[in-house]
Amino acid sequence: MRRAEGFIAVDWGTTNRRAWLIDGAGNCVGEMEDDQGILSVERGQFSEAVNDIRRRLGDHLLLMAGMIGSNRGWVEAPYVPCPAGLSDLAERLVWAEEGRTAIIPGLSYLTDGEADVMRGEEVQILGAVAADMVPGDCLICHPGTHNKWINVVDGRIIGFNTVMTGEIFSLLKEHSLLADLLRLPATTGEAFHSGVRRGLAHDGLTAELFSVRARVLLDQAKREDAASYTSGLLIGADIRVGLRAAPEAEVIVIGRPELTSLYASALVEAGQEAREVDGEASFLAGIRQLAELI
């Protein structure tokens, strides 16, 4: 299957998947998105799930990133250790179907007793660097279910730190004592910024989370502000972790706009310069570069 005829780029996560049809000139000429993340696919059924993508976008070479290459996905693609760039990823592609379907490996970071991994974000980060959307030396914040703080030096990812902020908020919203207070969407108003300031200033996050309910019960806060305050509290604590890496640097926030706007606003509240970069454009820049390297 020849890449000159185009290919399909796939970002296949835990709960969702997105795919884009890229023509021979590098233009995006079709796309799809659904909730068929890897947890929705039974073991032994991934070949059919892959065929579904081709039925919808055409019979082309597939380049897939994300959790599809995990030990819970289709075919495991071993992690590439940091520091790493796009060429390192291209050299370690795993072919699930020879000449037809390649899985891009994630990255691992292991140093001084710290251990961390990522799958999918690396394509966005290195793609943004390759497309000159971000400088070759920078600190990147990548919000999501598991937020990443990523150090880039000379155009390569040299290390990163993961904070489970998005997952914690989701768990609180669905399964905690705070669930009935967190039904409204979080917005970047005064309640959000108040939560950010509290998260930045205090270490005791678990105690602060319980106080969300107490503040409402004792008429110290409005019920309708609880979701925004809690989001700010979690993101403020998250930023405390991230800024340890480069407290004086501009932070570049890459991802979906609804998430990057929250983090950028919180970073400004923390007195930090922040710039937002679109995650989809970054991913497509990275996947095009990888296609050139195959």
Instruction: Tell me if 129 is assigned to some domain.
Output: no
180 shares its domain with 257: yes
Please write down the HEC assignment for all residues of the chain.
Answer: CCHHHCEEEEEECCCCEEEEEECCCCCEEEEEEECCCHHHCCCCCHHHHHHHHHHHHCCCEEEEEEHHHCCCCCCCCCCEECCECHHHHHHCCEEEECCCEEECCCEEEEECCEEEEECCHHHHHHHHHHCCCCCCCEEEEECCCCEEEEEEECCEEEEEEEECHHHHHHHHHHHCCCHHHCCCCCCCCHHHHHHHHHHHHCCCHHHHHHHHHHHHHCCCCCHHHHHHHHHHHHHHHHHHHHCCCCCCCCEEEEECHHHHHHHHHHHHHCCCCEEEEEHHHHHHHHHHHHHHHC
Q: Among the listed ranges 4-13, 117-126, 142-151, 274-283, which one has the minimum average pLDDT value? A: 4-13
96 and 168: one domain?
A: no
Query: What CATH number does the domain containing 217 carry?
Result: 3.30.420.310
191-236 tens-digit pLDDT: 999 999 999 999 899 999 999 999 999 999 999 999 999 999 999 9
Q: Give a yes or no: residue 24 inside a domain.
A: yes
Q: Containing domain of residue 54, as a range?
A: 1-78+92-105
Give how many domains the chain has, as a whole number.
Answer: 2
In a domain, 192, yes or no: yes
Do 174 and 274 fall within a single domain?
Answer: yes
> pLDDT above 90 covers what percent of the chain?
91
Q: Is the pLDDT at 139 greater than 50, yes or no? A: yes
Say yes or no: 166 and 274 in one domain: yes
CATH number at residue 26: 3.30.420.300
